[in-house]
């Protein structure tokens, strides 16, 4: 397998979400728009952050067990179907979305929450679409049957 055997994603997914959050934070500095009353936003945000970290940790553990790469710029060596991957084909991306929303609530910044939407659109079009095409080329019918049995998100 060559080092060119990768999906060729646009940007690292955490960078996509970090960019959206920073842009939202900057907008919030100019035009503050809270999401919820302070204490409620903080509690809800904390719960989402903890949930996102739990999902991500479980998904990363399964990928390590399968001895396959998490880095989208590294060849995939195994199709993981266990743990959170039994419920979602993209649990790490689900975790990134939930984490971003949790951080938006912790900051109580509506702009941060709203900019998660374009981040998901970029993720879907320039990361997930490329990864799905790559995995289908790499694993063929095994990947197609996984897609038929497991939703992309939840």
Whether the predicted pLDDT of 1 surpasses 70: no
124-135 pLDDT per residue, tens: 999 999 999 999
CA distance 11 to 18: 11
The confidence score (pLDDT) of residue 5 equals 87
Distance, C-alpha 113 to centroid of its chain: 15
Ramachandran assignment for 33, one of left (phi > 0), alpha (psi -120 to 50 degrees), beta (any other): beta
19-48 pLDDT per residue, tens: 999 999 999 999 999 999 999 999 999 999
Going by C-alpha positions, the residue among 103, 109, 105, 132 that lies closest to residue 9 is: 132
Model confidence band, residue 3 (pLDDT cutoffs 50, 70, 90): very low
The confidence score (pLDDT) of residue 2 equals 46
Burial 97-135 (b: 16+ CB within 10 A, else e): bbbbbbbbbbbbbbbbbebbeebbebbeeebbebbbebb
64-109 pLDDT per residue, tens: 999 999 999 999 999 999 999 999 999 999 999 999 999 999 999 9
CA distance 135 to 139: 6
Supply the angle between the helices 38-65 and 91-107 in degrees, to the nearest 10: 160
**DSSP letter, residue 83:** G
The confidence score (pLDDT) of residue 30 equals 98
* Strands annotated E in 12-95: none
* Average pLDDT score, the chain: 96
């Amino acid at each position: 397998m060559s080092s060119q055997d990768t999906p060729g994603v646009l940007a690292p997914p955490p960078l996509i979400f970090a960019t959206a959050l920073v842009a939202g934070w900057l907008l919030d500095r100019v035009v503050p728009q809270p999401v919820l009353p302070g204490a409620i936003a903080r509690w809800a945000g904390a719960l989402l952050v903890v949930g996102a970290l739990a999902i991500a940790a479980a998904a990363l553990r399964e990928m390590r067990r399968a001895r396959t790469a998490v880095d989208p710029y590294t060849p995939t060596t195994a199709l993981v179907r266990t743990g959170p991957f039994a419920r979602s084909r993209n649990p790490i991306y689900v975790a990134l979305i939930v984490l971003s929303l949790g951080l938006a609530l912790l900051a109580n910044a509506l702009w941060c929450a709203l900019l998660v939407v374009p981040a998901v659109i970029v993720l879907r079009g320039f990361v997930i679409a490329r990864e799905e095409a790559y995995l289908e080329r790499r694993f063929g019918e095994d990947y197609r049957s996984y897609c038929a049995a497991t939703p992309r998100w939840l």
